[in-house]
Amino acid sequence: MLDALAPTEKTPFANATVVRGACPHDCPDTCALVTTVRDGVAVKLQGNPDHSHTAGVLCTKVSRYIERNDHPERLTTPLRRTGPKGSGQFAPVSWDEALDAIAARLKLTKHSDTIVPYSYAGTMGLVQGESMDRRFFHKLGASLLDRTICSTAGGEALSFTLGGKVGMRVEFFAEAKLILIWGSNSIGSNLHFWRHAQAAKRNGARLVCIDPRKTETADKCDEHIALLPGTDAALALALMHELIVHDWLDHDYIARHTLGWEQLRERALQWPPSRAAAVCGVPEAQIVALAQAYGTTKPAAIRMNYGMQRVRGGGNAARAIACLPALTGAWRHRAGGVLLSATGFFPVDRAALQRPDLLAGRTPRTINMTNIGDALLDTANPINVLVVYNSNPVAIAPESGKVVAGFAREDLFTVVLEQFQTDTADYADYVLPATTQLEHWDIHTSYGHTDVLLNRPAVAPRGEARSNAWVFRELARRMGFTEPCFSDDDEALCRQAFAPDVIDFNELETQGFTSLKLPDAPFADGGFPTPSGRCEFFSERLVAMGQDGLPDHVPNYEPAGSSREFPLAMISPPARNFLNSSFVNVRSLRAIEVEPLLEIHADDAAARGIDDGAIVRVFNARGEYRCRAEVSRRARAGVVHGLGIWWRKLGMDGTNVNQLTSQRLTDIGRGPTFYDCLVQVERDDARVAATAS
Ligand SMILES: Nc1nc2c(c(=O)[nH]1)N[C@H]1C(S)=C(S)[C@@H](COP(=O)(O)OP(=O)(O)OC[C@H]3O[C@@H](n4cnc5c(=O)[nH]c(N)nc54)[C@H](O)[C@@H]3O)O[C@H]1N2
Ligand SMILES: Nc1nc2c(c(=O)[nH]1)N[C@H]1C(S)=C(S)[C@@H](COP(=O)(O)OP(=O)(O)OC[C@H]3O[C@@H](n4cnc5c(=O)[nH]c(N)nc54)[C@H](O)[C@@H]3O)O[C@H]1N2
Ligand code: SF4
Ligand SMILES: [Mo]
């Protein structure tokens, strides 16, 4: 294993080498990393200046990755639970003891699909995230996991409309003359896109940010449209209305490359800007002006992000927005169109990596990860064994009250593979110490650019930490799985991710990244990967599923202003210096975020006697959560922002914002509705008194 660390380049410093890697985090940018290693220790981590998307720049979080890697609280040995669930009491055990005990428990399990793997994108690596683990659970016949927690509403919406997760090439945003940044805080969550947006701005482009929150990105755009959460489809339909009545349409593109134009036209004509203005809570004039800009500026580009699809109608909203560029023919130009995610362009050989054939005709049930709270409490369809890796569900899944109750079940056998003792690890029967990106092999695609990156280990694993793939290989051996695929080592798995003829592995090995060969303007002449080959305004496939075939405004489950008891709409977007719940335990980053915050508009604060800096109780029928209020110009009246996602145990009262969110699902994609959540806020006088005394 150690000679895997060898192929690196010498630096001008004595005893130092540089190792090329990739940022593993769930971020669209997938930066290329260069780690300087001296005497076996990582001493410097930088963005690779040779990789054009990274351009030598990392975000604040990952520029602290060595601090995270060398953190004194890294898990370094397997642990066995010695106290009640959730108490965090554990004793170190050997790997053999832990793996033998886990394998014995799995062998005892009569119905294999009462075993549930729970994983998400703690690392986006194809090897540590979706290879040996999947092989293992397929062979075992465990439940399948519907990995919906982030992006399925928008992703499936894109598939129904454009045919896949496909879109503009990110680099060409720099040439656009109008950019709509829609449901995205680029500066916080997609920094390397922001570079292109700024380049466009320098060339005279107009930037418009569409977001309920006045984010740091909104501050820097020419215009900010602060619509109410979950009203994006209404806005998009009103834009269509204006494109139609002013004839800012590309009739030739519509005729040749779209499906369902007449029906969409009829639908959009029901949405004059006045109607959308009332729904969105923004001035009609702002919608009219945006439509004019979008209809008359060429090239016009839209950068959506997943922030706008975490509401009941998230799928329909993403579909409505994705229809816009086909109406104006924006796709004809390489700097026109829309980008939400471009992962559909990567020809990953998932069958080779994940080996679904090992299911051998069995069709285990599927558990929707968004509803893990309910699933763990469902006694009719029990989950007996849960194996968690690359995720921190106790902190990040909605309606935590139920998630915690589920994880606290004494009869549930839980294994957690983790780098740190997270809220979830506290509920494990066995905690297995995981390697970091500096310590293991991996290969990466990206959802914000179209390069493949190779990650070589730069340093030896900390303590007894082992890679996820190693753990599942070892468990497979103990289960008696003899297929040769269970012997593939991590580096071999990297090579299996793509068929040899589709990417240049030599280039990956020598420079650390390689670019997919793609046309500049993928849909200039149509050719969408839909069944019809057209941009499907109307979707037969949705109709076949009993859904509306046309995009529509689907109001939130909990629309702003619809309840007297819970009058405020709460969204919980990322805090800039955390990545979901990762990095919350990194001291220098937590020092920037300080403590859990609720941004609230001055009027809403005054009406409740809440001063800036007061400790507040945020609550609804699902639960309550305490944090500090910031009376903030970033909040519009009626909407509060509970910035995410704190570790519960590092917050104020042992909970976090997901104590309040619901398990209801999106219209398309079975996704979570984190931002479709009504609350009430009050001063927490008890807490204030306690702090004062
Ligand atoms: N620093 C940092 N970067 C991250 C993450 C992080 O936690 N921290 N998370 C990563 C992950 S997991 C993902 S999925 C990606 C993308 O993750 P996203 O959560 O999409 O990230 P943002 O770009 O912050 O976009 C969210 C924005 O959408 C806004 N928003 C909320 N509700 C609505 C709505 O109804 N309509 C509209 N138009 N806007 C709305 C929020 O105010 C916020 O500014 O970012 C990744 N990058
Ligand atoms: N309220 C609210 N909730 C949200 C969101 C929101 O905006 N608001 N955003 C949602 C979104 S978009 C997402 S994507 C989810 C994200 O939720 P998760 O995917 O659970 O992401 P993280 O919270 O970052 O947890 C990832 C964990 O994986 C671990 N990890 C990293 N690398 C490895 C590895 O190689 N091996 C092992 N074994 N572990 C590793 C990290 O230490 C970390 O604890 O949260 C969702 N939850
Ligand atoms: S989190 Fe995103 S911006 Fe930061 S280094 Fe990783 S890929 Fe780049
Ligand atoms: Mo996400």
Q: Which atom of ligand 2 is nearest to the CA of 151?
A: 12
Q: In what order do the strands lie in the sheet with 16-22?
A: 9-10, 16-22, 32-38, 41-47
The rounded Å distance from CA 286 to ligand 2 centre is 36
DSSP of 164-206, one letter per residue? SS----GGGGGG-SEEEEES--HHHH-HHHHHHHHHHHHTT-E
The answer to whether the CB of 391 is under 6 A from ligand 2 is yes
Q: How far apart are CA 284 and CA 281, in angstroms?
A: 9
Q: How far apart are CA 251 and CA 268, in angstroms?
A: 16
Statement: residue 689 has pLDDT above 80: no
Percent of the chain clearing pLDDT 70 (strictly above) = 97
Testing ligand 1's pocket by substitution, the residue of 184, 324, 678 carrying the most ligand atoms inside 8 A of its CB is 184
Testing ligand 3's pocket by substitution, the residue of 27, 196, 513 carrying the most ligand atoms inside 8 A of its CB is 27
Query: What residue ranges line ligand 1, CB within 6 angstroms?
Result: 26-27, 150-151, 182-185, 188-190, 210-213, 215, 229-230, 232, 305-308, 311, 571, 573-574, 576, 578-580, 675
Q: Into which CATH architecture does domain 1-150+356-414+422-443+455-517 fall?
A: 3-Layer(aba) Sandwich (3.40)
The answer to whether the CB of 160 is under 6 A from ligand 2 is no
pLDDT of residue 13: 67
Neighbours of 89 (CB within 10 A): 12
The rounded Å distance from CA 152 to ligand 4 centre is 10
**pLDDT tens-digit map of 416-430:** 999 999 999 999 999
pLDDT of residue 521: 98
Q: Whose CA is nearest to atom 6 of ligand 3?
A: 23
pLDDT of residue 685: 79
Q: What is the chain's mean pLDDT, rounded?
A: 96
The rounded Å distance from CA 28 to ligand 4 centre is 9
Instruction: Mean pLDDT check: name the lowest of 133-147, 499-513, 658-672.
Output: 499-513
Asked if residue 149 lies in contact with residue 416, where contact means CB atoms within 8 angstroms, the answer is no
Structure tokens belonging to residue 504: 């240049």
Mean pLDDT across 472-494: 98
The rounded Å distance from CA 13 to ligand 4 centre is 39
Helices in 58-114 by DSSP H: which ranges? 60-63, 65-69, 95-108
The answer to whether the CB of 585 is under 6 A from ligand 2 is no
Closest ligand (CA of 444)? 3
Nearest one of 190, 197, 194 to 174, comparing CA atoms: 197
E strand or H helix that includes residue 300: strand 300-304
pLDDT of residue 686: 74
Q: Whose CA is nearest to atom 40 of ligand 2?
A: 390
Q: Which atom of ligand 2 is nearest to the CA of 436?
A: 35
The rounded Å distance from CA 572 to ligand 4 centre is 12
Statement: residue 377 has pLDDT above 80: yes
Residue 2 banded pLDDT, cuts 50, 70, 90: very low
DSSP of 545-573, one letter per residue? TTS-SS------SS-TT--SSS-EEEE-P
Q: Which atom of ligand 3 is nearest to the CA of 27?
A: 2
Statement: residue 8 has pLDDT above 60: no
The answer to whether the CB of 396 is under 6 A from ligand 2 is yes
Residue 304, strand partner residues? 182
Structure tokens belonging to residue 144: 């399948």
Residue 687 banded pLDDT, cuts 50, 70, 90: low
Residue 500 banded pLDDT, cuts 50, 70, 90: confident
Q: Hey, where are the domains in the chain?
A: 1-150+356-414+422-443+455-517, 153-340, 568-692
The rounded Å distance from CA 150 to ligand 2 centre is 10
Phi then psi dihedrals of residue 336, to 5 deg? -125, 155
Residue 292 banded pLDDT, cuts 50, 70, 90: very high
Testing ligand 1's pocket by substitution, the residue of 211, 216, 290, 677 carrying the most ligand atoms inside 8 A of its CB is 211
Helix axes 232-245, 273-280, angle to 10 degrees: 170
Q: Is the pTM of this model over 0.95?
A: yes
The rounded Å distance from CA 575 to ligand 1 centre is 9
The rounded Å distance from CA 203 to ligand 4 centre is 31
In sign, the C-alpha dihedral spanning 275, 276, 280, 284 is negative
pLDDT of residue 10: 67
pLDDT of residue 598: 98
The dihedral region occupied by 399, where left means phi > 0, alpha psi between -120 and 50, and beta the remainder, is: left
Statement: residue 613 has pLDDT above 50: yes
Q: Whose CA is nearest to atom 7 of ligand 3?
A: 30
The rounded Å distance from CA 182 to ligand 1 centre is 10
The answer to whether the CB of 644 is under 6 A from ligand 2 is yes
Statement: residue 688 has pLDDT above 70: no
Nearest one of 401, 465, 445 to 624, comparing CA atoms: 401
For the domain spanning 568-692, the CATH number is 2.40.40.20
**pLDDT tens-digit map of 333-375:** 999 999 999 999 999 999 999 999 999 999 999 999 999 999 9
Percent of the chain clearing pLDDT 90 (strictly above) = 96
Asked if residue 448 lies in contact with residue 192, where contact means CB atoms within 8 angstroms, the answer is yes
Asked if residue 672 lies in contact with residue 148, where contact means CB atoms within 8 angstroms, the answer is yes
The answer to whether the CB of 302 is under 6 A from ligand 3 is no
Residue of 255 and 11 predicted with greater confidence: 255
Residue 203 banded pLDDT, cuts 50, 70, 90: very high
Testing ligand 3's pocket by substitution, the residue of 29, 436, 576 carrying the most ligand atoms inside 8 A of its CB is 29
Ion ligand 4, residues whose Cβ is below 5 A away: 150
The answer to whether the CB of 191 is under 6 A from ligand 3 is yes
For the domain spanning 153-340, the CATH number is 3.40.228.10
